[in-house]
Amino acid sequence: MSTLDATRAELALIVLYLNKAEARDKICRAIQYGSKFLSDGQPGTAQNVDKSTSLARKVFRLFKFVNDLHGLISPVPQGTPLPLVLLGKSKNALLSTFLFLDQIVWLGRTGIYKNKERAELIGRISLFCWMGSSICSTLVELGEVGRLSVSMKKLEKDLKNGDKYKNEEFRAKLQKSNERTLALVKAAMDIVVAVGLLQLAPKKVTPRVTGAFGFVSSVISCYQLLPSPPKSKTQ
């Protein structure tokens, strides 16, 4: 492959990535929480960027609650333990509620919905829903990582003296475990962000802490959305 072809392929991946509304939302999220970290809750340019980006992100989330409604009624993979099923469905229900209520918050901030006090209350309820969904997501990922760990240990015993890293099934499980672990870290960090936004522990979870955790969580989300690079053709 020539240098031009390689550059063209890389640009195609970037275009594919930026065409996703979810990817643009997460990039804006990283900007938002990075600005929150810099401002530390103090008035100035960084805080203005934080507030304006937060409002802009809500447009990307219009009608996004339908995605989790679909997940709520979709069947789960066979063999999934009932507690994980219930936690997963609870996460879908809470996240869908958050995204729906967030649209009312957007209407309030744009001046379309005139009752500011009601909009603020709805905004707080929506954040509690998001925190609840993050807690459910953390527990789900923790359970799935545990299940994968048990499955991988069993497979190692079956392979005995063979090289486990040459086994396609083991490599697939290892990759899935890594993905689940990353999702676990992100969900746990989102809980801290929610606590910060709700000001449940203002002395410990300051705007700077909230910004730091939110920025790292956003970077993880951006990474998770990266498209898989095309496999090179062997001659």
For the chain of 235 residues, list the mean pLDDT of each consecutive stretch of 10.
Answer: 78 86 91 94 93 87 87 88 95 95 90 89 95 97 94 85 80 92 96 96 94 96 82 46
pLDDT score at 62:
83
In a domain, 146, yes or no: no
Tell me which residue range forms the domain holding 31: 1-60+201-230
Total count of domains within the chain: 1
pLDDT score at 229:
60
pLDDT score at 233:
45
In a domain, 3, yes or no: yes
In a domain, 210, yes or no: yes
Burial of 78 (0-12, 13-18, 19+ CB in 10 A): exposed
In a domain, 153, yes or no: no
In a domain, 180, yes or no: no
Structure-derived torsion over alpha carbons of residues 12, 18, 20, 25, reported in degrees to the nearest 10: 160
Answer for the pair 215, 30: CB distance below 8 angstroms, yes or no: yes
pLDDT score at 230:
57
pLDDT score at 134:
97
pLDDT score at 234:
41
Tokens of 144: 């799935």
pLDDT score at 69:
87
In a domain, 122, yes or no: no
In a domain, 225, yes or no: yes
Stated length of the chain: 235
pTM: 0.89
In a domain, 36, yes or no: yes
